[in-house]
Chain A
Amino acid sequence: MLNTIWAVMILTAVMYGAFTGRMSDVTNAALDSAGEAISLCITMAGVVALWMGLMEIAQRAGIIEKLTRGISPFLTLMFPRIPKGHPAREYIATNIIANVLGLGWACTPAGLKAMEALAKLEAERGNAGYLAGQDGSGAKNRYASNEMCTFLILNISSLQLIPVNMIAYRNQYGSSNPTAIIAPAIAATLFSTLVAILYCKWKDRGRKAW
């Protein structure tokens, strides 16, 4: 994906620059931006290291584990048909908490495990829509279960509470109050997540098994 985006950006810039006669500007921009990326990373390194240090303490002290267990009622609300004690629940909980705390490195592995566990759940249920592709024709046209849709929509609705990177960028570009956006960001995130929850519950209404 990024291959295409990046190539289109670079090629457009050079062709459009040649067309508008701004090749020397393009040259300078390429060289300056490369240097700028480094100074940005130096600012970011401090903020990210601070955050990750705090999170390491939170993990050792058992705070993250407590939070993961604490959202159990929320999981029951969103995924009423995943049996209690099914591994999918645990992975989903870990993914959600990692998202909330902005632990990017922990989100994706747990999220992928959750999807695999949800796939297994569909196989256990003998869901015709999900199993359809398994025989003969290979893994074509497998349908997502309601749980998968809900999990992904929640995930994409953004759950992060403290936008650590955004604060670091604002700091680097001379904001007078880099953290001023925390509360509005939390409000906007809660709103988009609320919309996601309502949409999923509406789509999932009255279903027993898929």
Chain B
Amino acid sequence: MRALANLSDIVIPMLIFFIVGYGYVSKVKVYETFLKGAKDGLNIVVDIVPTLIGLLVAVGMLRACGFFDMLGRVLAPVTGLMGLPVQLFPLLAVKLFSSSAATGLVLDIFKTAGPDSYAGLLTSILMSCTETVFYTMSVYFLAAKVTKTRYTLAGALLSTLAGTVASVILAGRMV
């Protein structure tokens, strides 16, 4: 895990060094180009503000009404057996359908358990290595006008499961 931790520390500085250095050597006007890209980035964030408001409000209300506590008590026997945080199951289920709805749950976990707790680390890694299975499949297959998706779902779920197992193991070693 030490090597992984060191790698985490150097990835971003190395990337910045490489991109800016390579750009400068290839005679790109690096600063002006950076400003243009950064502006595009701001526009992307502005576009997602309404989504985040809608979903954070929904998740916040669900937490406040006691629904998550109830869910936790119901799931406790199952999750306790595997040593997994209770919040993981609703998160996994939602992530299959919608990335932004999953973000709402992720932020709730960060707020209640902290981003550096076991649950927080597990969530961070899990969200980084999984995709929205059903959403992606429906949009992409619609473009090809395909209705029979054959083994796509099985493969997608298998790789999601692999990512989940890897996240649980890696997060367990980080705490």
List A residues at the B interface (Cβ < 8 Å).
1-2, 5-6, 9-10, 12-14, 16-17, 20, 22, 25-26, 28-30, 32-34, 36-38, 40-41, 44-45, 48-58, 60-63, 104-105, 108, 111-112, 115-116, 118-119, 129-130, 133, 139-144, 148-149, 151-153, 155-158, 160, 162-163, 165-166, 169-170, 172-189, 191-196, 199-200, 203
Contact = CB atoms under 8 A, between A and B. Distances in A.
Given A61-B23, A144-B148, A115 B143 contact: yes
Interface residues of B, number: 105
Contacts of B154: 199
Interface of B: 3-5, 7-9, 11-12, 15-16, 19-20, 22-23, 26, 28, 30, 33-42, 44-46, 48-49, 52-67, 70, 94, 97-98, 100-101, 103, 106-107, 110-111, 114-116, 120-121, 124-141, 143-152, 154-156, 158-160, 162-163, 166-167, 170-171, 174
Contacts, number: 359
B23 A60 contact: yes
A143 B150 contact: yes
A117 to B, nearest CB: 9
Contact of A158 (B46, B58, B97, B128): B128
A45 B155 contact: no
Contacts of B48: 41
B67 to A, nearest CB: 5
Given A49-B38, A179-B12, A183-B7, A156 B159 contact: yes
Nearest to B55: A6
